[in-house]
Amino acid sequence: MRQVIIVGSGPAGYTAAIYAARANLHPLLIASSVEAGGELMKTTEVENYPGFADGIQGPELMMAMQAQAERFGTEIVLDDVTNLELDGEVKRVTLGNGDVHEALTVIFATGSAYRKLGLADEERLSGHGVSWCATCDGFFFRQKTIAVVGGGDSAMEEATFLTRFAEKVYVVHRKDSLRASKAMQDRAFNDPKIEFLWNKEVAHIYGDDLVTGIGVVDTVDGTESTIDLSGLFIAIGADPRTHLVHGQLDLNADGTIAVDGRSSRTNIAGVFAAGDVIDPTYRQAVTAAGSGTVAALDAEHYLAALPKELLASAESQPATV
């Protein structure tokens, strides 16, 4: 049995692991079978993570966090959690390969998942012109006309990045002003390849095998129009990934996991949550990292108060350095 199992491998999960490992709790971190490293693995330049004056690539940052967590003795498993049993003193975590791990505490840091438009052809044309990841798929749209949906920082970042490849990038936004930060807005406004389509909602995605166009509806006067293009990048935010804990952990109205005040404590003793899965507002790599720190410290305090016999049944190996 473990003292700590961490579910999730974004900035919150890895930072919780770094702190838990340095506290000699020898954490096991479940990092997912396909998306280890979280959303930053799909990002390009990260310019606002403190300590990197010249910026750092998202994947590079995540690999450095992983290396730091491993340096202090974190064990990482690349698999998906399929079931969590969180009630009781001993928590049980089941993985895709059938392994069941037990722990006295669980830190849940599963982040958030990209939102979908909810259109009929969105799934069908996913990977055939519809994408949620400019860094993954931008290369396929050299000299093409494409569109990005959304008005937040993600949409501005994707649109700006995609101008490296595409001939023309429309930004389709349902309002007449952006939610994105001023700096990101200015960068997009000043890019000659980007054209904004204000007050427009995507109502259709056209194409048999590949995307050939979109149908948009004006949110003010209801008029419809068609735009010929070969790629549609959807950047309309993300929702907390909580399906594993439904019915066990209390959620807020916005879908995030409810925690006690500024702590990471959930409604179940010994279960802590950190990062985007508890944060509908800030959702930055650095705030997630801070949240992971809080969770590791909360877990450490919780463990310290447990009966010695129970603690003795959980392994505690020395850190590797």
Stretch in the footprint of ligand NDP (CB under 6 A) among 24-32, 103-111, 151-159, 296-304: 151-159
136 is known as an active-site residue: yes
Apex 65 CA angle, 288 and 311, nearest 5: 80
The whole-angstrom distance between residue 283's C-alpha and the CA centroid of its chain comes to: 9
232 near ligand NDP (CB under 6 A): no
> Given the complex with ligand NDP, which of 38 and 270 has the nearer CB atom?
38
Give 70: exposed, middle or buried? Use CB within 10 Å, 0-12, 13-18, 19+: middle
Q: Which helix (H) or strand (E) holds 106?
A: strand 100-108
Residues 56-115 that bind ligand NDP (CB under 6 A): 115
Using the rule CB under 6 A, which residue among 236, 273, 294, 314 binds ligand NDP?
236
Q: How many CA atoms lie within 13 A of 256 on its CB side?
A: 20
Using the rule CB under 6 A, which residue among 74, 154, 160, 264 binds ligand NDP?
154
152 near ligand NDP (CB under 6 A): yes
Judged by DSSP in three states, 242 sits in coil
151 near ligand NDP (CB under 6 A): yes
> Given the complex with ligand NDP, which of 106 and 235 has the nearer CB atom?
235
Query: CB of 246: closest distance to ligand NDP in angstroms?
Result: 22
CB 270 within 8 A of CB 250: no
Catalytic residue among 79, 87, 121, 137: 137
220 near ligand NDP (CB under 6 A): no
How many residues belong to the chain? 321
221 is known as an active-site residue: no
Catalytic residue among 99, 136, 254, 260: 136
Nearest to 287 by CA among 276, 295, 277: 276
- Separation between Cα atoms, residue 35 and residue 204, nearest integer Å: 29
Residues 38-67 that bind ligand NDP (CB under 6 A): 48
254 is known as an active-site residue: no
Tokens 């590797």 map to which residue?
320
| Distance between start and end Cα atoms, the chain | 22
> Given the complex with ligand NDP, which of 58 and 270 has the nearer CB atom?
58
Tell me which residues touch ligand NDP (CB under 6 A): 48, 115, 117, 149-155, 157, 174-175, 179, 235-238, 283
Catalytic residues: 133, 136-137
